[in-house]
Structure 1
Amino acid sequence: MDYVRRHIEPMLDESLRAFRVVVLHGARQSGKTTLARQLVQRRGGTYVTLDDDATRLAAIDDPVAYLSGLQAPAVVDEVHLGGDRVVRAVKRLVDDSDVRGRFLLTGSTNFLSVPAISESLAGRARILRLFPFTQAEIDGRAAIDLAGWFDDCEINAPHETDDRAQYMGRLCRGGFPEAASLTPEQRQGWYGSYLETVIQRDITELGDIRRAEALVDLVRWLAANTAAELNAEAACRQLGIDRSTFNHYFAWLRTVFMINSVPAWSRKHAARAVRRPKSHFADTGMAAALLGVNAEALASPASTIAGPLLESFVTNELARHTAESAGARIHHLRDYDSHEVDIVLERADGTVAAIEVKATGSPSENHLKPLRWLRDRLDRTAPGLFRVGVLLHTGPHCHRVGDRLWLAPINALWHSQPQIR
């Protein structure tokens, strides 16, 4: 497919101007290599990948000599395969020079979580995460402007609306660039191969994984339980594994960016909040493929998995935008009195935007109850913090439904934004 401009590009350019090293990590096949090559094409420099055996051996054999010969900005792709030896050489070289943008390091594992890399490059590097495509990137639109939600308490109507079947099609397509252009049948095979590659190359080789089949079972269990609070005891019981194995495997799935963990939101005015995080499959296309469901099945009102997958789809969209803009942190909320809010966005100043996600095209008054509850509670205990509550749904309606409460189509997240020229 043609090159798709990524929303992170301005932040990447700014980081290379300000830092000696920039680390760009993210899931395998999320577009890091394409973006890195595009950067070298625009700015000059050198691109090498440690995924190539000969290059990796040369870099590991004498990393200082090898890396010092690369023209800046030097892109070292899949840097985690070089381990601590290569990263420590980067540290030594940048400590001997104040050149900004000397290295761009990319990797398919979380740079701060790989056991083989003990050097964090603290004080020398900026770490950025590249997610798979957002819907706005696929449609050639600007990133969502969440400031309008917080500052103006306004939701812009989308230029056009999707229906439930179209949303489920987007959900099943997912965001991986390679998979986005495939047919649904081809995509099913692509995701199967992707899972095998990640488990065999990025987890089994780097981690102490003794039961790869149990890891696959855990991946499928997490897909079936996406958008739910993480219940390790239930997983261990159903999969026949112990808690330490679960913790070890789950940590690795987060390290390779397959699972996003959304923390519970809690403040002094929400003291009865349950503290367990929610687990979201990081790409709903992969989750749907693992569960064997397609857009047609999910479009049926009888589907029981459509709602959780749609919540993960929206959560992932917001996580990608908030990570790129660094304007808000994403949480969920449930208290011991059974009040739940799917998504709570909190800015550094403490103000919040609350979001509910429903697969229905005809939202009812009952669907607004969680948003009204949180608004009223915060108005009593912390006036001014609650900025807006939005019920995102699969229908066409976009309008205010009360004090700081809105109904809006899900694609208001991207179709209300201008196209990128």
Structure 2
Amino acid sequence: MRYVKRHLETALDRSLEASRVVVLHGARQSGKTTLARHAAQKRGGSYVTLDDDASRLAALDDPVAYLSALRTPAVIDEVQLGGDRVVRAVKRIVDDSDERGRFLLTGSTNFLSVPTISESLAGRARILRLFPFSEAELEGSLRLDLTRWLDACSIDPPQQTEDRADYMSRLCRGGFPEAVALAPAQRQGWYDSYLETVVQRDVAELGDIRRAEALVDLVQWLAANSAGELNVQTACRQLGIDRSTFNHYFAWLRTVFMVNTVPAWSRKHAARVARRPKTHFADTGLATALLGVDADALASPTSTAAGPLLETFVANELTRQTAGSAGARLHHLRDYDGHEVDIVLERPDGALAAVEVKATGSPSENHLRPLRWLRDQLDRTAPGLFRIGVLLHTGPHCHPVGDRLWLAPINTLWHAEPQHP
């Protein structure tokens, strides 16, 4: 597959210039090795992987000597397999020198959550997360211009037209580089192997997993309930497990980046709001493979899975496009009176963009109600925070529909054409 430039590459380059150690972690097969090797090659660095038995044994035998011999920047792939012994050697080496970009560590588990690694490299490392491909990266597009959304309260129309079937094809393809390169008929087998590797190798080897079948059931349940609020009591009842088991297994699925949580949005001017996070399966291609649905099934107007999966698809795209930047953070909102907003994007200065996602190509007035409600609420309690409300849909319409409210096709997120005055 051709090299696809990652949006995170700029942040990675800057981090190597500023930090002694950079940690690049993310889901297995999300492209970390390709990006890390590309960064090292540009600087004449070296690469080793601890996924290789010989390299791992050599590193564990005398880690300081082994790592000191590597050219800068030294990429240590799958660093979690070396555990504390390797990470402490990295700490010792960088503490003896002020050299920037000495090590680039990659891992398929959350560096801060692996029990075999107690050393966090605090004050020495910049930690970056790489996600599977965003649609913008695959299209060679720039990141979404959130500044235009939040400051100009305006949306640039997409360059191309897509329909519901197109979006469902993208959704089922997912963003894992290997899966993207495969024909649709081959992806099911790839995803089956991926799940087996992550559950039976990564989680089982690092975690105290006593009921592997319960873990697989939980993965299936999370795929079926993607874009829903996390109700632990309901999950435990339906899966036949206790709360402690659920919490332990769910934490491990987050550690290997299989699920993302989106926190509830609340401020002092947003009373009576629910506090549960939403869970989104980290890749919709993997979710649809687990659920056994394809693009044709999801393209049907009667599909009940299309709406939640499309919301997850959009949430993932926004998460991937804002990763490594100082952009907006994702939240969701639901109050106890039944008002819900799918996604709330909040910038550090407090400016908000509210996003609703609908699988329809012909949005109606009713679909705009959540956005109107939040706009009016915030205008009364916190004037100036609500900047724009966007209803993303599968049709072609892109235009304003009232005060700071817009209709926009979903592919606006990766095909927007800047409009100049």
TM-score, structure 1 normalization = 0.98
Structure 2 counterpart SS, 1:407: strand
Alignment match, 1:68: 68
Which whole-Å CA distance do the structure 1 matches of 2:245 and 2:280 have between them?
20
Q: Distance in 2 between matches of 1:144 and 1:169?
A: 21
2:223–2:281 Cα contact (<8 Å) kept:
yes
Partner of 1:316: 316
Match of residue 188 from structure 1? 188
Any idea what SS the aligned residue of 2:207 has? coil
Deviation at residue 41 of structure 1 after TM alignment: 2.0
Letter aligned with residue 37 of structure 1: R
Report SS of the residue matched to 1:209: coil
Indicate yes or no: 2:86 matched with 1:77: no
Q: How far 1:324 sits from its partner (Å)?
A: 2.7
Look up the match of 2:382.
382
What is residue 229 of structure 2 aligned with on the other side?
229
Give a deviation string over 1:226-278, Cα, whole Å, max 9, x none: 00000111111111111000000000000000000000000011120000000
Secondary structure of 1:204's counterpart equals helix
**Following the alignment from structure 2 to structure 1, what is the Cα–Cα distance between the partners of residues 9 and 187?**
27
String of CA shifts for 1:354-391, please: whole Å, max 9, x gaps. 00000000000000000000000000000000010000
- Residue in 2 aligned with 1:282? 282
8 A contact 1:144–1:417 mirrored in 2: no
Determine the structure 1 residue equivalent to 2:135: 135
**3-state secondary structure, aligned to 1:136:** helix
Aligned residues: 418
2:370 equivalent to 1:370: yes
Mind listing any 5+ residue stretches in structure 2 that lack a counterpart? none
Asked whether the 8 Å contact 1:47–1:77 carries over to 2, the reply is yes
- Counterpart of 1:95? 95
Once the two structures are superposed, residues 11-40 of structure 1 have per-residue CA deviations (whole angstroms, 9 ceiling, x without a partner) of 100000000000000000000011111122
Secondary structure of 1:205's counterpart equals helix
Match for 1:111: what amino acid? F
Residue 46 of structure 2: aligned partner: 46
The root-mean-square deviation of aligned C-alpha atoms, in Å, is: 0.8
In the alignment, what sits opposite 2:55? Answer: 55
* SS of match in other structure, 1:325: coil
Residue matched to 1:205? 205
2:343 maps to what in 1? Answer: 343
Quote how far apart the aligned CAs of 1:394 are.
Answer: 0.1
Partner amino acid for 1:24?
L
**Structure 1 gap ranges (5+):** none
Residue 268 of structure 1 aligns with which residue? 268
Are the counterparts in 2 of residues 274 and 336 from structure 1 also a CA contact under 8 Å?
Answer: yes
Residue identity matched to 2:84: D
Contact 2:8-2:323 within 8 A present in 1 as well: no
Please give the secondary structure, in 1, of the residue aligned with 2:396.
Answer: coil
In structure 2, C-alpha distance between the alignment counterparts of 1:235 and 1:377, rounded to whole Å: 33
Q: CA deviation at 1:417?
A: 5.3
Report the Cα distance in structure 2 between the residues aligned to 1:22 and 1:58, rounded to whole angstroms: 22
Deviations, residues 366-421 of structure 1 (Å, cap 9, x unaligned): 00000000000000000000010000000000000011000000000000158xxx
Deviations 1:103-156 (A, max 9, x none): 000000000111111111111110000000000111111111111111111110
Work out whether 1:300 is the aligned partner of 2:300: yes
Percentage of matched positions with identical amino acids:
79
Match of 1:22, as an amino acid? V
Shift of 1:325: 1.8
Superposed CA deviations along residues 196-245 of structure 1, whole A, max 9, x for unmatched, are: 00011110000000111110000000000000000111111111111000
Which secondary structure state, in structure 2, belongs to the residue aligned with residue 269 of structure 1?
Answer: coil
Partner SS for 1:270: coil
Q: Is 1:141–1:417's contact at 8 Å kept on the other side of the alignment? A: no
Moved beyond 3 Å, runs of 4+: none
Q: Distance in 1 between matches of 2:44 and 2:51?
A: 21
> Are residues 1:163 and 2:163 paired?
yes
In 1: Cα distance, 2:289 partner to 2:161 partner: 25
Alignment match, 2:17: 17
Q: Give, in whole Å, the separation in 1 of the partners of 2:161 and 2:343.
A: 22
Which amino acid counterpart does residue 8 of structure 1 have in structure 2? L
**1:287 alignment partner, SS class:** helix
Q: Equivalent residue for 2:214?
A: 214
Provide the rounded CA distance (Å) in 2 between the counterparts of 1:248 and 1:261: 15
The C-alpha deviation readout for 1:86-108, integer Å capped at 9, x for no partner, is 11111111111000000000000
CA contact (8 A) 1:143 1:417 kept: no
